[in-house]
Amino acid sequence: MLSLRKKMGVTAASLTGLLALSSCSVLDAQATVPEDWTPRGAVKITVAFAPGGGSDRSARALAQALNEEDLGFNANVENKDGGSGAVGWSSFLGEEGNGNSLLVAEGAINILPILYDVEFEYTDFTPIALFAEDSRVVVAPADSPFEDCNDLIDAARTDRVLAGVSGLTGADAIVRTALEQAGGVEFDAVPFSSSGEVVTALLSGNVDYAPVAASVAAPQIEAGEFTALCSMTAERYDDPVLADVETAREQGIDATVSLWRGFFAAGGIDEVQRQYWIDAAKRAIDSGSFDQYIEQDMLVPTELYGDDFADYLAEYQKEMEAIFS
């Protein structure tokens, strides 16, 4: 049974490998890209996370914005979730040279290669546009003795303070590390696999505090379930509920956390194709349906395109390496 299974696995792997290679070379036999290139047929937008999440929503907003313009192609979203994004981003390596393919990515694409043995780096893909920055609001259960983030750091000097953290490579992990480094303390963390679980743990008082996304925090704060301790943004949120929340900087803690969200095209595409997508992304991001998404998700609207985005990424990569290695 075992040997059979092994053999099958090996032949399966080698066969798929072989065929993937051969089919790529046959199908993507496009020698030169004409000056007036436009995508045709179906354009696939890969999302490395499950449907319903933040990345997925941004991809669907992009697809909708692109399709509304009727550019002669049909954009559709494909979720390839798993391994905190590793599965989707690795699979996007296979799109090399394909101008008909887009990728939604976020800061974790910088962090994963630092921590894990994955095949990709963000430089394998072509940066198109950064459309928003995301951050976190640090919250505690309503009946918590903590009132701001300094209380957390002070308490951690003497007691055990438990943080609820969703994912080991995302914004939550960066917030925890940033607060630890700024305060010179250490927090114990309970790992969760989704932000929903973190909210449950906060509501039931299982953890002392947790960094959560603004769109998750706001309704809970409004309902009086959570106390907001501080926001990890550079400036306060422009939101009726969150406007009262001080930033960590205001509280004298030198820590801001931003997690970019953006689009990539496949690596190795032609300059004509890159330029096409930069222009298309500009129009899509400025469209009404995309604005609505940014507002709903309470993201910080930021726009960077092409080379500017690439420079930003290089800088971001250095920051992340400082935090995670």
Partner 1 sequence: MIDNLVLGFQNAFTPENLLWCFIGVLLGTIIGILPGLGSSTGVAILIPVTLAFDPLTALIMLAGIYHGSQFGATITAILIATPGEASSVVSTLDGYQMARKGRAGPALAISALGSFTAAMISLVALMAVAPVFASVALTFGPPEMLAVMILGLSTIVVFASRNVLIGVAMGLGGLLLATVGVDVGSGTARFAFGQVELYSGIPFVEVMIGLFALGELLNQLHQGAVKPIRARFRDLILTKEDLRRSVPSTLRGTLIGFVVGILPGAGSTLASFMAYGAEKKFSKNRDQLGTGAIEGVVAPDAATNSSANMNFVPTLTLGVPGGATTAVLLGAFLMYGIQPGPLLFENQPGLVWGLLVSFFIGNVILLVLNLPMAPVFAQVLRVPYSYLYPLIIFTSIVGAYTVANNSFSVWIVLIFGVIGYAMKRLNLPMAPLVLGLVIGPLLEKSLVQTSALGDGNIGIVFESPIALVILGLAVLMVFGGRFQKKLTQSVMGGRKGGKGGTRNGSAFVTETSSVEAVGELADEIRADERAAAAAARDSRPDRRGDGPSGRGGGTPPPDGD
Partner 2 sequence: MTATPPTTTARAPRRTVLIAYGVLIAIGAAFAVGAAVSYPLLLENSQVGPGLMPLVAGSALVLVGLLLVRQELTTGSVLEGDGAAVDTSGEDIAKRRRTHRKLLSVMGLTVVAAALIPVLGLLPVMSMLVFVLSVFVERRPWWQALLVAIAAFVVAYVIFVAVLMTPLPFGIFNPDVWSRL
Nearest to 94 by CA among 83, 107, 78: 78
H/E run at residue 56: helix 54-68
**Selection from 74, 137, 121 nearest residue 102 by Cα:** 74
Partner touching 31 among partner 1, partner 2, none, CB below 5 to 8 Å by kind? none
Is 33 a binder of partner 1 (CB under 8 A)? no
Residues 6+ apart with CB under 8 A from 28: 97, 98
The DSSP letter of residue 209 is B
Binding of partner 2 by 31 (CB under 8 A): no
Give the contacts of 162 (CB within 8 A, at least 6 positions apart). 187, 188, 189, 190, 206, 207, 208, 209
Residue pair 217/137 in contact by the 8 Å Cβ criterion: yes
Site string for partner 1, 207-246 (x = CB under 8 A): --------xx-xxx-xx-x---------------------
Question: CA angle 156-157-160, nearest 5°?
Answer: 40
Instruction: State in angstroms the smallest separation of the CB of 12 from partner 1.
Output: 4
Q: Does residue 29 bind partner 2 (CB under 8 A)?
A: yes
What would you measure as the largest C-alpha separation in the chain, in angstroms? 66
Stretch that binds partner 1, among 73-81, 100-108, 248-256, 309-317 (CB under 8 A): 73-81
- The CB-of-34 to partner 1 minimum distance in angstroms stands at 29
Indicate whether 83 belongs to the interface with partner 1 (CB under 8 A): yes
User: Does 201 sit near partner 1 (CB under 8 A)?
Assistant: yes
Site string for partner 2, 57-86 (x = CB under 8 A): -------------------x-x--------
Rounded to 10 degrees, what is the CA torsion of 118, 121, 124, 129?
Answer: 130
Q: Does 30 bind partner 2 (CB under 8 A)?
A: yes
Q: Does 162 bind partner 1 (CB under 8 A)?
A: yes
Select from partner 2, partner 1, none the partner in contact with residue 204, using the beta carbon and a kind-dependent cut-off of 5 to 8 Å.
Answer: partner 1
- 111 close to 168: Cβ distance less than 8 angstroms: no
17 binds partner 1 (CB under 8 A): no
Could you tell me the smallest distance in angstroms from the CB atom of residue 24 to partner 1?
13
Instruction: Looking at residues 253 to 282 of the shown chain, list those that interact with partner 1 (rule: CB under 8 A).
Output: none
Phi-psi region of 251 (alpha: psi -120 to 50; beta: other; left: phi over 0): alpha
196 near partner 1, rule: CB under 8 A: yes
Residue 123 vs 193, nearer CB to partner 2: 193
Residues that bind partner 2 (CB under 8 A): 1-2, 8, 11-12, 15-16, 19-20, 22-23, 26-27, 29-30, 40-42, 44, 76, 78, 100, 188
